[in-house]
A and B are shown apart, each in its own frame.
Chain A
Amino acid sequence: GDSWGIFTFLCAALCNLPALPALNCTEELGTSQSIQKTYDLTRYLEHQLRTLAGTYLNYLGPPFNEPDFNPPRLARAERVPSATVDLDLWRGLTDNARLAANYRAYSRLLCYLRALDGQAATAELRHRLGHFCSSLQALVLSIAGVMSSLGYPLPVGPSAPPGTPVAPNDFLKKMDDFWLLKELQTWLWRSAKDFNRLKKKVPPAVVTLRLEARGF
């Protein structure tokens, strides 16, 4: 009677909180939509990044804003795991590993972008960076939502590894900024493919309310 209705409602409400591990009443309809939403977010961010990168690289000045600029990656510790990965390796990733890689990468990228925002000299840059960071934060949360609705634990650990070296001079710092934006761009391209792949695996619009009907 009433208890059943209340229990169903509570279950549905709780299942929509991304921070909680999946309960027995999984709504797979929600997961499919979450994956679509995450995919859409990566496309949106990709679009936003074009304007942000354009503005930022102009601030760094030539040659950083030249289209064919391709500096060597000097021997410095990589701050973010590269998005570029062997094709077979990428295909063979489990859903959990795929999602975890995305989650870790964007958590770190968000951290570095926020640091950039703290140093940005012009009001326009601060405004654009601030807006982008908010959207990137939404992407991180969205990925977390997908992971918990599929029952995967969120990767633990600090979002930025300790002892990441700061560039010793202003020119090398500009190079670091350039590579950060490049890495961000590459990750967004890759994530679109990651989420497209995940979309195909989770059947859409299947509402399976698996409730343990004890004592009702």
Chain B
Amino acid sequence: VSWAADPAVISPQDPTLLIGSSLVATCTVSPDFHLKAEDLYWTLNGRRLPATSYSTLGPTTLSVALTHLNGSKQQSGDNLVCHSRDGGILAGSCLYVGLPPEKPVNITCWSKNMKDLTCKWAPGTEGETFLHTNYTLKYKLRWYGRDNTCQEYHTAGPYSCHIPKDLALFTPYEIWVEASNRLGVAVSDVIMLDILDVVTTDPPSDVHVSRVGDLEDQLSVRWSSPLALKDFLFQAKYQIQYRVEDSSEWKVVDDVGNQTSCRLAGLRPGTVYFVQVRCNPFGIYGSKKAGIWSDWSNPTAASTPRSERAAGGCDPKGGEQNTTLRRELKQFFGWVKKHAYGCSNLGIKLYDQWRVWLQKSHKTRNQV
């Protein structure tokens, strides 16, 4: 198929340019179309370019001068189009304006249960998004020759890659990322790591939170160590975090060590707590480094008991604990009635109603 039938030809066709550079493009109409240079105009990304930037180079050739080009509006290229007077499209050229990539940085990796390796990195600059930039993660065993290329990208965000198998333990890996686009290539620094030093695992399973007898200020937390690592020698470290139902502030218990149970103390009676546990496979196969903390387990809820005497005190009709309080309140309301106008509804009856409401709302919250 010949292309001579195209109405016009643009030069340069699909150029790649640095941000800030200038460009002179020409549009030459095919003789079959009987159009002259004055019948033409240019648009860039749909916007008409000013006639002051045009120049007639011949009877059928019109040029346009573009200066200080900004980065491309879309990664598929800016659309520079040559039109005939009635708006018809004669030809187009895609301009790729951007920056060469910079060295990717901050390569961090982790291995789930020593079975795989996931790495993520950050692009060197933001400017790399004008052009499509391709990232390739490469790795090789130190002291052994072959480079390997990671195949599964975007598993943990846009700048990540997953190596699912054939990983060796006990020998360090060299890992680096290559970035390339139309304007150039950049290679990150090489990081060295041993799979055993970046192991993470699943959160502990079977997290159970229960009361400690009648103790109002304690809860007992029990869990199982992650199944995937049960055959490997490691001294897991655990961390617990807990919070009161209504609060968003987590309290962290850090020194849990290697046990699979822990007692939380100093808690509020009659309150619902949410508890989560996570695991760090510290010291796998004798590694001296800490591993990587797993995700937190799904929150487990439990409530501390409220002692019987206190429960009785919620009953407005009885309970010795609150009689002093009630007496004082009664006196206060009497005084208010005498001295403050418009507070006639305030009275001990209203206070009793409030206590009943409080008890009801506590009951529904404890049912979580």
Contact = CB atoms under 8 A, between A and B. Distances in A.
Same complex for A and B? Answer yes
Interface of A: 58-64, 66, 71-72, 74-77, 121-123, 165, 168-172, 174-175
**Range, interface on chain B:** 20 to 34
A58 B45 CA distance: 11
Contacts of A169: 13-14, 93-94
B77 interface: yes
B360 interface: no
Contact of A170 (B1, B77, B89, B158): B77
Contacts of B81: 63, 171
Contacts of B132: 121
Interface in B310-355: none
Nearest to B72: A61
B5 A74 contact: yes
A63 B158 contact: no
A70 to B, nearest CB: 9
A176 to B, nearest CB: 12
A121 B78 CA distance: 15
Contact of B75 (A72, A76, A121): A121
B79 interface: yes
Contact of B14 (A62, A66, A71, A171): A171
Question: Across chains A and B, which 8 residue pairs bring their CB atoms closest together, nearest first?
Answer: A62-B46, A171-B92, A61-B74, A63-B46, A75-B5, A170-B94, A170-B14, A62-B45
B135 to A, nearest CB: 12
Nearest to A167: B3
Contacts of B158: 123
Contact of B79 (A64, A72, A168): A64
Given A77-B1, A169-B14, A59 B89 contact: no
B5 A59 contact: no
Interface in B53-91: 73-79, 81, 88-89, 91
Given A61-B76, A174-B79, A168 B3 contact: yes
A121 B131 CA distance: 10
A72 B89 contact: yes
B44 to A, nearest CB: 9
10 contacts: A59-B75, A60-B74, A60-B79, A63-B46, A64-B79, A169-B13, A169-B93, A171-B14, A171-B94, A175-B92
Contacts of A174: 76, 79, 92, 94
Contacts of A171: 10, 13-14, 79, 81, 91-94
Contact of A62 (B79, B89, B91, B154): B79
Nearest to A164: B1
Nearest to A60: B76
Contacts of A63: 43, 45-46, 79, 81
B38 interface: no
Contact of B46 (A59, A66, A74, A123): A66
A121 B134 CA distance: 10
B76 A59 contact: yes
B7 interface: yes
A161 to B, nearest CB: 13
Contacts of B13: 169-171
Nearest to A177: B76
Contacts of A62: 45-47, 73, 79
A75 B77 CA distance: 24
A61 B77 contact: yes
B154 A123 contact: yes
Given A62-B45, A75-B6, 7 more contacts: A60-B79, A61-B78, A64-B79, A66-B46, A121-B132, A171-B13, A175-B92
A107 B13 CA distance: 33
Contact of A121 (B3, B45, B76): B76
Nearest to B46: A62
B211 to A, nearest CB: 48
A61 B45 contact: yes
Interface in B79-115: 79, 81, 88-89, 91-94
A59 B14 contact: no
A59 B74 contact: yes
Contacts of B6: 74-75
Nearest to A63: B46
Contact of A72 (B3, B14, B78, B88): B88
